[in-house]
Amino acid sequence: MSKPSAADRLGISRRLLTDSSLRAKTLWALSITMGLFVLTAGAFLINQQQVREARRWTDHTTEVLSLTDELQLQVLKQESNLRGFVATRRDEFLPPYKAAVRHFDTTIGELLEMTTDNAEQQARLHRIVGMMAQWREEIATVEISEIGNRDDKDATALVATGRGKQLTDAIQTQIKQSADAEQALLTIRNQLLSRQLDNIRLLAIASLLAGLLFCALALAVVQRSLATPMRHLTELVARLTAGDLRIEVPHTERGDEVGAIARAIEAFRHASQEVQKREWLKRHLAALSSELSQQRDYESFGNAILAYLCPLTGAGYGVLFRALDEELALSPVGSYGYKERRDQARTLREGLAAECLRSGKPITLDPVPADYLRIASGLGAATPSSVRLWPLRGIERVVGVLELASFAPLGAAGEELLEEATRLTGLAMEALSSAIRTRGLLEETRAQAEELQASEEALRVQQEQLRTANEALGTKNSALEEQGRRLQASEEELRVQTEELRNANETLGDKSRALNEFNDRLLAFQQELESKNRDLEQASRYKSEFLANMSHELRTPLNSLLILAKDLADNGSGNLTAEQVESAQIVHDSGQNLLGLINDILDLSKIEAGRMDVDWEEVALDSIGGNADRSFRRVARDRGLEFSIDIEPGLPARIQSDGTKLNQILTNLIGNALKFTHAGSVRLSIGRPGDDLPTPGELPRERTLALSVSDTGIGIGPEKLARLFQPFEQGDGTTSRRYGGTGLGLSISRALAQMLGGDIVVQSTPGSGSRFTLLLPEDGRAFAGKATAGEATIAVAATAPAAALTPTATVAAPPAAAVPVVAPPAARRGPQIPDDREQLQPGDICILVIEDDGAFARVLAEMTRRKGYRALVATDGESGLELARRYRPSGILLDVDLPVMSGWSVMEQLKGDIATRHIPVHFVTANDEASRGLAMGAVGFLTKPATRESLDVAFQRVLQVGDGERRRVLVVEDDPGARHAIGRLLAGQAIDLVEADTAARGLQLSQERRFDCIVLDLSLPDANGLEFLEQLARRGPVPPVVIYSARELSREEDLRLREYTDSIVIKGAQSPGRLLDEVSLFLHAVRKPSSPTPTAQQPSDLAGRTVLVVDDDMRNVFALSKTLRGHGLKVLVAQDGQKALAQLEQHSDVDWVLMDVMMPGMDGHEATREIRKRPQWRELPVIAVTAKAMKGDREKCLEAGANDYLTKPIDIDKLLSMMRAWQRHV
């Protein structure tokens, strides 16, 4: 069990302080105090015991010293009394001598007993005892005995020898040494005693300080854990009583009295908040009720409630719908923050609002799709995060729907407010409806009363008029009699006038007959004119239909051609030779050229029919020059031409025009200038038109821009200037012409220029060059269409070598790239970083490093050498390309951001050169466009900063070669005889043949090992061949498959099999040879060692998803299915709309539908409409993939329900991007 860390102990201590009660804290303090006292007392007792022991030993040593002194005294007494006895022969010296002997023995015995712990002293005392015994025996006893016998001579002689003196001196020396030793020991023990006494004093001081520190700590703990929190809580209570409910109450997690108080305060705060929230809710409901009661119509009612609720709930958008009485439909009566909806007074019967009305339940839309709704302000617009709809209930039914959208979800208070507000609003709206109906009835009654009153007044007036008329009638009768008399007189006058009129009528009849004849001729002419107009309209319609059909019929086979050619040119399986890949690339490029021709013809037809739209926008002049520089500077340098761009100062920074069409015109003009100029220069000048240039239409010269493209090329003869801008007109139309092109480029360019409000002027001298000038107004929208399209070409003979362009062909712009910078000469002479080019020998493996970072280039070169290879280093793209062509390295490590020539351009050059296209290239760069690099043919893409391990993987990929192993072929066939026959047929190949008699066994074997080819029978005992292929595709990439079966295939079966393979062999007389050819083709493809490196594909983010391809053209189905399956997609196929619906019914996991338009039976438009009718398919992405590319075709597809539109031939990258976009969108 591990010990707790310091942090754990600290956390435990804090919990004890905050979670323990006051009584527990007091007990802890008392326990710690008592513990300190006990420890101090124990320490004192121990020290006192040590002092007592030290003093005992000191006293012991002092007593030993005293006995030593006594012992020395007794030795002296024995010697002096013996000498007195010998000198005087008197017996009174013997008793003191004997007493001294006794005292000596007693003292020496005590010393021996007291020094038992000191071995050195014991030895010294024993020596003293021995010497004393010797002295007594040899000296004292002999002298006493001889003197007692009166033998003075012998006794004197013994004394004279000095032997006794020597023994006593030796004894004294031993005694002195013993005393010195004890004295030293006494000094040590006195020092020990002194230290013990000092320790007692230090302990007393330490105990005092510890007591004081503990008291201070206790006070601090009390201050921190009790006083400070209580003071803080007291301040919070004061703020709470003052009405501040936004406070945060601390210490609620504590388990002591402080925590209990804090929790009580927090409960009080919550209760106060609830009271305040209820008061807020009641206040706003009362204000809303008062506001709604003042409204007299639906619009003011809707605007009033939205104007009140939206700011209060934080909604940025709101709409109030009223339920119509006669049907389940809604009508908007008010809006907030959404003008479009306010302007639409339409009835809704579908959608979420109608569903909310029918169900009577709230609806929440969260999250909101990106294009569903945008809330806008003066600063910008954004999509809300949620949309809510609430039904407005009256007494018996739902009377309306309230819809709100906001950036943040509603809080609890907002939810409660809206719940009560919608209930109140429903009742108020129902009351308003009743009031409006009542007012309507009152108005109708009042109108009827007024009409009745008006009728009565009219009747009275008529009666008065009748009376007046009767009175006037009598007066008129008298007047009539007078008129009768005057009438008789006038009849005679009329007879005369009638005779004159008859003569005039005869003259007028003659003139009328002549006029009728003229009218008949005019009517015949009008009928003829109308007939010609109808013929012209029919011819125009036939032309449009012809172009549409031609577009479809050309694009449909082009689609398959381009997809399959691109697939072959990419050489994804690595089974083609370099020449075969080049041939496929030529086929693809030719198809692209044909597609460009089709697009040019369609553009021209759109312009002539007036169906070409102009997208007006602000176009910066700097961007015009920048685009031209990026597109053509490299081309000009490759052709050895000087290319320059001049922009006159003082011009406006931007003009009003269509940037796309403007770039198309300049691309054509500059491209033609480069094509027809073999030496000299090409210049683009942007400025005001000179006096020698006439401006078209009503363009003022001071508001017109002249974009001139000048060259020093071959020029144009005067005889060709007149028809220069006619369609299909070429500079050299003979069979031996030098320059290619269709002659549509200048026709389209001039038509586009006139659509932009300008025109193109050409000046040229044969042999000296040409200048084409695009004249454009600064505000193209104001002058669009004022230039006459039928004006004659303005041709001015150049007096000097003008620069211009040849009007023969549209030249497509090269891919945009960074403007190349010419490298300094030093960069071309030799490597800036030392490499191994001078040491290269035939057969050496070398790696070319193209990297402008010197430090990183040295690292890569050193890694190359450590791996045993030679290193070549280039610090710019152009010199790297030169080294690659000169030394043909085994591999290339390439950066993207290079001087002189970018890495993309280097890659294009390498792959476009048959001598270098086989060299494996691995990108190592800070750029993150991995998909672009891999699509260009790189074997890998590594993003800086790179680790050593990732660099090792890069080296391994670059230098990886084939291992030459035998190929494996799996035969899935239930007939043993057929398996044996296939084995004998393929016996001449370098293969390992593996057999499986069931589909399950075949799937097991394909999962256990990798096969280079599978020969499959369709009739298996446990599954058919299609089921086998479907299960095999779900487990991973499907190897090349050859179908070898005796069963005739239906069209549906053939269509489904074409999703997986194009190699289907029906057993018959010629089938063995055909089978051998198909299998040999696959085996040759995987074994060919000289095949170019296949294009590495980045792992697709679409892998595992399902796409339904609906197309009646089997070429398109096979090409598109093969390519999509190469990206990891599961492909389903249908030949018409009806079968597409059946496929969708059977497969609920379809993620996209690629829908062709022109199909037998149910076409693509009808099929799309049927799909949109089904609720489960309304959100299914449908992409119209069709060869119909005329104006209006896109709109028809989108109106039918398609999400997007793509024309054939299909650009696979664009299709995949479109699929990804709709995948994320849905």
Please write the tens of the pLDDT for every residue from 692-705.
Answer: 777 776 678 788 88
**Which has more confidence, 827 or 125?**
125
Report the distance separating Cα 472 and Cα 764, nearest Å.
Answer: 96
Q: How is domain 22-150+157-227 classified at the CATH fold level?
A: Four Helix Bundle (Hemerythrin (Met), subunit A) (1.20.120)
What's the mean pLDDT in 969-991?
77
**pLDDT greater than 90 at residue 893:** yes
pLDDT band at residue 1089 using 50, 70 and 90 as cut-offs? very low
**Which has more confidence, 333 or 816?**
333
**pLDDT greater than 90 at residue 487:** no
pLDDT band at residue 457 using 50, 70 and 90 as cut-offs? confident
Lowest mean per-residue pLDDT among 278-282, 691-695, 1097-1101: 1097-1101
Q: Could you give the strand order of the β-sheet that contains 846-850, starting from the edge strand earlier in sequence?
A: 870-874, 846-850, 891-894, 921-925, 940-943
Note the pLDDT of residue 591: 72
**pLDDT greater than 80 at residue 1200:** yes
CB atoms within 10 A of CB 899: 18
With contact defined as beta carbons under 8 Å apart, do 1161 and 1112 qualify?
no
pLDDT band at residue 1171 using 50, 70 and 90 as cut-offs? very high
Of the candidates 889, 885, 886, the one whose C-alpha atom is nearest the C-alpha of residue 861 is 889
Q: Can you give the residue ranges of every domain in the chain? A: 22-150+157-227, 279-338+345-443, 613-777, 846-959, 967-1080, 1106-1223
Terminal-residue alpha carbon distance, the chain: 55
pLDDT in tens, 562-578: 667 776 777 766 777 76
The torsion of the CA quartet 455, 457, 461, 467, rounded to 10 degrees, works out to: 100
Note the pLDDT of residue 345: 47
CB atoms within 10 A of CB 735: 5
pLDDT band at residue 683 using 50, 70 and 90 as cut-offs? very high
Residue 1170: what residue type?
A: E
What's the mean pLDDT in 438-447?
81
* Nearby residues of 606 by Cβ (< 8 Å), 6 or more positions away: 612, 1191
With contact defined as beta carbons under 8 Å apart, do 97 and 81 qualify?
yes
Lowest mean per-residue pLDDT among 893-907, 1051-1065, 1100-1114: 1051-1065
CB atoms within 10 A of CB 291: 15
pLDDT band at residue 543 using 50, 70 and 90 as cut-offs? low
pLDDT in tens, 94-121: 888 888 888 888 888 888 888 888 888 8
With contact defined as beta carbons under 8 Å apart, do 426 and 288 qualify?
no
Of the candidates 837, 1095, 829, the one whose C-alpha atom is nearest the C-alpha of residue 849 is 837
Handedness of CA 1096, 1102, 1104, 1108 (dihedral sign): negative
**pLDDT greater than 50 at residue 794:** no
**pLDDT greater than 50 at residue 368:** yes
Question: Reduced to 3 states, what is the DSSP secondary structure of residue 1041?
Answer: strand
Q: What is the DSSP letter of 380?
A: -
pLDDT band at residue 802 using 50, 70 and 90 as cut-offs? very low
**pLDDT greater than 50 at residue 1095:** no
Q: How is domain 1106-1223 classified at the CATH fold level?
A: Rossmann fold (3.40.50)
Lowest mean per-residue pLDDT among 439-453, 606-620, 849-863: 606-620
pLDDT band at residue 1154 using 50, 70 and 90 as cut-offs? very high
- The torsion angles phi and psi of 614, rounded to 5 degrees, stand at -115, 125
What are the C-alpha distances in Å from 319 to residues 307, 342, 380, 405, 1200?
Answer: 10, 8, 21, 9, 29
Question: Residues of the chain with pLDDT > 70: what percent?
Answer: 74
**Which has more confidence, 410 or 1089?**
410
Of the candidates 270, 271, 274, 261, the one whose C-alpha atom is nearest the C-alpha of residue 235 is 261
Q: From the CA atom positions of the chain, what is the Rg in Å? A: 59
**pLDDT greater than 70 at residue 19:** no
Instruction: Tell the residue number behind the tokens 């849905």, with chain if given.
Output: 1226
Alpha helices in 609-736 (DSSP H): 621-638, 659-675, 718-721
Note the pLDDT of residue 1155: 92
Domain 846-959 has CATH 3.30.470.20: no
N residues, the chain? 1226
Note the pLDDT of residue 711: 92
What's the mean pLDDT in 782-806?
42
Report the distance separating Cα 420 and Cα 550, nearest Å.
Answer: 65
Lowest mean per-residue pLDDT among 21-30, 58-67, 1070-1079, 1170-1179: 1070-1079
Note the pLDDT of residue 707: 92
pLDDT band at residue 1065 using 50, 70 and 90 as cut-offs? low
* Nearby residues of 519 by Cβ (< 8 Å), 6 or more positions away: none
What's the mean pLDDT in 1198-1225?
80
Question: Residues of the chain with pLDDT > 90: what percent?
Answer: 6
**pLDDT greater than 50 at residue 959:** yes
Interior/surface letters 693-704, b for 16+ CB within 10 angstroms, e for the rest: bebbbebeeeeb
Report the distance separating Cα 1203 and Cα 30, nearest Å.
Answer: 82
Residue 1130: what residue type?
A: K
Q: What is the DSSP letter of 1007?
A: H
The torsion of the CA quartet 782, 788, 789, 794, rounded to 10 degrees, works out to: -110
Asked whether this chain's domains 967-1080 and 1106-1223 adopt the same fold, the reply is yes
Of the candidates 1007, 957, 931, the one whose C-alpha atom is nearest the C-alpha of residue 1220 is 931
**pLDDT greater than 60 at residue 1098:** no
Q: What is the DSSP letter of 535?
A: H
| Cis bond upstream, residue 96 (ω within 30) | no
Tell which CATH architecture fits domain 613-777: 2-Layer Sandwich (3.30)
Lowest mean per-residue pLDDT among 236-245, 725-734, 986-995, 1109-1118: 725-734
* Nearby residues of 393 by Cβ (< 8 Å), 6 or more positions away: 360, 399, 422, 423, 426
Structure tokens at 830: 């030799």
Pick the CATH number of 967-1080 from 3.30.930.10, 3.40.50.300, 1.10.3720.10, 3.40.50.2300: 3.40.50.2300
pLDDT band at residue 811 using 50, 70 and 90 as cut-offs? very low
Report the distance separating Cα 1054 and Cα 1052, nearest Å.
Answer: 5
Report the distance separating Cα 918 and Cα 601, nearest Å.
Answer: 38
**pLDDT greater than 80 at residue 1046:** no
pTM score, whole prediction: 0.31
**Which has more confidence, 837 or 278?**
837
Mean pLDDT, the chain, integer? 75
H or E element: which one contains 317? strand 315-323
Lowest mean per-residue pLDDT among 172-181, 405-414, 595-604, 798-807: 798-807
640 conformational bin, left if phi > 0, alpha if psi -120 to 50, beta if neither: left
pLDDT band at residue 990 using 50, 70 and 90 as cut-offs? low
Report the distance separating Cα 471 and Cα 302, nearest Å.
Answer: 64
Best-predicted range by mean pLDDT (4-18, 361-375, 1145-1159): 1145-1159
pLDDT band at residue 186 using 50, 70 and 90 as cut-offs? confident
What's the mean pLDDT in 269-274?
74
Instruction: Tell the residue number behind the tokens 């102990």, with chain if given.
Output: 9
What are the C-alpha distances in Å from 759 to residues 100, 785, 894, 896, 1103?
Answer: 156, 10, 46, 41, 51
Best-predicted range by mean pLDDT (293-302, 515-524, 1132-1141): 1132-1141
- The torsion angles phi and psi of 972, rounded to 5 degrees, stand at -105, 100
**Which has more confidence, 945 or 100?**
100
pLDDT band at residue 780 using 50, 70 and 90 as cut-offs? confident
Structure tokens at 38: 């006990």
Could you give the angle at the alpha carbon of 326 between the alpha carbons of 322 and 332, nearest 5°? 20
Could you give the angle at the alpha carbon of 103 between the alpha carbons of 98 and 108, nearest 5°? 125
Handedness of CA 728, 729, 733, 737 (dihedral sign): negative
715 conformational bin, left if phi > 0, alpha if psi -120 to 50, beta if neither: left
pLDDT in tens, 723-757: 677 655 555 443 234 444 556 678 788 888 888 88
Q: How is domain 279-338+345-443 classified at the CATH fold level?
A: Beta-Lactamase (3.30.450)
Note the pLDDT of residue 684: 92
**Which has more confidence, 662 or 957?**
662
With contact defined as beta carbons under 8 Å apart, do 879 and 861 qualify?
no
**pLDDT greater than 60 at residue 9:** no
Best-predicted range by mean pLDDT (170-184, 241-255, 518-532, 1147-1161): 1147-1161
Give 781-843 as a DSSP string: HHHTTTS-TTPPP-EEE-SS------SS---PPPPP-PPP-PPPHHHHHS-SS--SGGG--TT
What's the mean pLDDT in 830-856?
82
